[in-house]
């Protein structure tokens, strides 16, 4: 994929993901605000209803007392009667109907003891409505007579109640608040109204008089502006009041959050899945791109690795055609040895590739037996000691382990050590200087192979056991190879239930550490 197109695709995917996260965040925030406003609206409506019920209950209590007292009074101070009369005739006969509508207005003075005020008395009016119907008809002797048909009498209680309410509101404010409303009443009404509006959060309440707390309040009330709502209480006819009912909800945020928690959790979960999927896809894209680049490097390196021995073999074959060489046994043996070595070299390259392929398919059969690790190390050293001597270097062994019996595959464990030794030689720019150590730690044997070569950075140490990975210097490989040796080492040791680590510092050499289990 084109690098610019790849970058554009990544940018678009990242922008889309950020957009989804932003929309989800905005939705959750907006939902929270909406639920918070709904909570506030429900609480305010509940408080208004509670205040109205308290005020109505107080008025009802005293109005019933007043009505009973008025009914028990014998003579009013003054009586006024307003009467309306009208007559109608009926077609076809001599009868007439006369209608009387009388309003009886009686004035009373009542003691204000029922209101516990300092006023001596209050003037009230009682109105009674009387309706009569009289039918006038002529008798046989021509004399007209009266026949009362209907008489109804009713109290005009609405007028009295309005009159009482107007007077009551003006004088009831002189009573202390704790005599007008009780804590159980406030608590019961609040629970009832809040429950009707779906508010289940615990609450505390208090009644304040001109910004000062009164006796009517719950035990744990605190005036917190962020969690407290208020409504006027006992409003007079001028719409003024000296009392405020405050209700605080310490768990307001919890209830609001709980109301959107389910949908928010699902939204966040789905967003998290999208983020994980995106991260995985992005990782795979970069991984595939890296593998593509590594495989290209691998093909180039393998081509170079085969090109040299093939060229050498061709030259040796051409030389063998020379008549002078045919007659010289020394030259003949030399060129034949060269062909065999180069052929062995190519075969080794192919074997490494095949080993990795078999390991990945779990097709590599690794029968294990009891072996002495020290013997395997000595055998592995014999494979590379001529190369080390040719470069005037050394491989020294320091066997400190008293026990070295392990359960292993002879061939593959030998290849593991050869690969590490081969790397130590290749990455030593000057004379190879390699030390091999062993020691026993509990039920394990530790093998350390230390060189004084080029070393590696921390970043390289994390990747050296990956297939095809090779360290670069710019765009040029300092050491020829195909990046399969240490990947093979790691796979073989995993199969042996062994561990491998590397300790290294740039330009100061490397130490490969292998830990294997001992057997009795």
Q: What is the pLDDT of residue 121?
A: 57
Please state which of the ranges 16-30, 82-96, 242-256, 265-279 shows the lowest mean pLDDT.
Answer: 82-96
Average pLDDT over residues 381-397: 86
Q: Would the pTM of this model clear 0.75, i.e. be above it?
A: no
Average pLDDT over residues 113-138: 59
Does the domain at 366-517 match CATH 3.30.565.10? Answer given as yes
Q: Which residues contact 506 (CB under 8 A, 6 or more apart)?
A: 454, 455, 456, 457
Smallest Cα–Cα separation from 377: which of 514, 520, 517?
A: 514
Render pLDDT for 279-288 as a digit per residue (tens, 0 to 9).
888 888 777 7
- The DSSP secondary structure of 374-433, one letter per residue, reads HHHHHHHHHHHHHHHHHTT-EEEEEE--S--EEEE-HHHHHHHHHHHHHHHHHT-SSS-E
What residues are paired with 130 via a beta bridge? 102, 153
CATH fold group of domain 255-353: Helix Hairpins (1.10.287)
Per-residue pLDDT band for 66 (boundaries 50, 70, 90) equals low
Render pLDDT for 128-137 as a digit per residue (tens, 0 to 9).
655 666 666 6
Share of the chain above pLDDT 70, in %: 65
Give me the count of residues in the chain: 520
Q: Which residues contact 248 (CB under 8 A, 6 or more apart)?
A: 203, 204, 205, 221, 222, 223, 224, 227, 228, 229
What residue spans define the domains of the chain? 3-59+176-250, 73-172, 255-353, 366-517
Smallest Cα–Cα separation from 511: which of 376, 385, 383, 398?
A: 398
**Sole residue written with tokens 């001597």:** 389
Render pLDDT for 181-225 as a digit per residue (tens, 0 to 9).
888 888 999 999 988 888 888 889 998 988 888 888 888 888 888
pLDDT at 68 over 80: no
Q: What is the pLDDT of residue 481?
A: 45
Rounded to whole angstroms, the Cα distance separating 156 from 52 reads 24
pLDDT at 477 over 50: no
Rounded to whole angstroms, the Cα distance separating 116 from 323 reads 145
Per-residue pLDDT band for 474 (boundaries 50, 70, 90) equals very low
Smallest Cα–Cα separation from 118: which of 172, 64, 67, 161?
A: 172
Average pLDDT over residues 227-233: 88
- The DSSP secondary structure of 476-511, one letter per residue, reads B-SS---S-HHHHHHHHHHHTT-EEEEEE-TTS-EE
Q: What is the pLDDT of residue 222?
A: 85
Rounded-to-10 torsion of CA 472, 473, 474, 480? -60
Per-residue pLDDT band for 86 (boundaries 50, 70, 90) equals low
Render pLDDT for 396-429 as a digit per residue (tens, 0 to 9).
999 999 999 999 988 889 888 988 998 898 888 8
């Amino acid at each position: 994929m084109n690098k610019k197109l790849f970058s554009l695709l990544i940018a678009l995917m990242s922008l889309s993901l950020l957009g989804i996260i932003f929309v989800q965040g905005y939705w959750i925030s907006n939902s929270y605000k909406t639920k918070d406003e709904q909570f506030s609206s429900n609480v305010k409506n509940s408080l208004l209803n509670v205040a109205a019920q308290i005020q109505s209950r107080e008025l009802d209590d005293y109005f019933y007392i007043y009505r009973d007292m008025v009914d028990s009074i014998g003579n009013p101070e003054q009586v006024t009667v307003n009467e309306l009369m009208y007559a109608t005739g009926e077609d076809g006969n001599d009868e007439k109907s006369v209608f009387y509508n009388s309003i009886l207005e009686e004035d009373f003075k009542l003691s204000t003891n029922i209101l516990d005020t300092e006023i001596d008395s209050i003037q009230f009016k009682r109105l009674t409505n009387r309706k009569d119907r009289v039918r006038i008809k002529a008798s046989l002797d021509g004399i007209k007579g009266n026949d009362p048909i209907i008489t109804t009498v009713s109290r005009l209680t609405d007028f009295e109640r309005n009159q009482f309410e107007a007077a009551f509101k003006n004088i009831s404010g002189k009573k202390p608040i704790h005599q007008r409303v009780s804590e159980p009443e406030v608590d019961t009404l609040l629970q009832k109204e809040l429950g009707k509006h779906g508010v289940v959060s615990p609450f505390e309440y208090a009644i304040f008089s001109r910004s000062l707390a009164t006796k009517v309040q719950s035990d744990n009330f605190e005036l917190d502006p962020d969690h407290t709502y208020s409504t006027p209480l006992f409003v007079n006819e001028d719409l003024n009041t000296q009392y405020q009912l405050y209700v605080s909800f310490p768990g307001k945020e919890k209830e609001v959050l709980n109301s959107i928690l389910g949908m928010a959790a699902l939204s966040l979960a789905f967003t998290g899945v999208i983020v994980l999927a995106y991260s995985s896809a992005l990782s795979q894209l970069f991984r595939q791109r890296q593998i593509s680049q590594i495989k290209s490097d691998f093909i180039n390196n393998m081509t170079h690795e085969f090109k040299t021995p093939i060229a050498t073999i061709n030259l040796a074959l051409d030389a063998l055609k020379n008549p002078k060489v045919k007659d010289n046994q020394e030259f003949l043996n030399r060129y034949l040895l060269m062909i065999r070595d180069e052929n062995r070299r190519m075969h080794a390259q192919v074997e490494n590739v095949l080993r990795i392929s078999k390991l990945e398919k779990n097709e590599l059969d690794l029968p294990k037996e009891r072996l002495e690790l020290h013997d395997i190390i000595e055998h592995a050293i014999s494979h590379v000691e001529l190369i080390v001597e040719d470069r005037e270097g050394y491989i020294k062994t320091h066997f400190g382990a008293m026990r070295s019996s392990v359960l292993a595959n002879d061939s593959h464990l030998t290849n593991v050590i050869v690969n590490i030794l081969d790397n130590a030689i290749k990455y030593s720019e000057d004379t190879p200087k390699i030390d091999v150590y062993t020691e026993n730690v509990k039920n394990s044997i530790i093998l350390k192979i230390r060189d004084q070569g080029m070393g590696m950075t921390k970043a390289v140490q994390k990747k050296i056991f990956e297939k095809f990975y090779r360290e670069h210097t710019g765009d040029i490989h300092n050491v020829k190879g195909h990046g399969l040796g240490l990947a093979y080492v790691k796979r073989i040791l995993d199969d042996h239930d062994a561990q491998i680590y590397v300790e290294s510092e740039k330009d100061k050499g490397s130490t490969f550490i292998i830990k294997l289990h001992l057997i009795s």
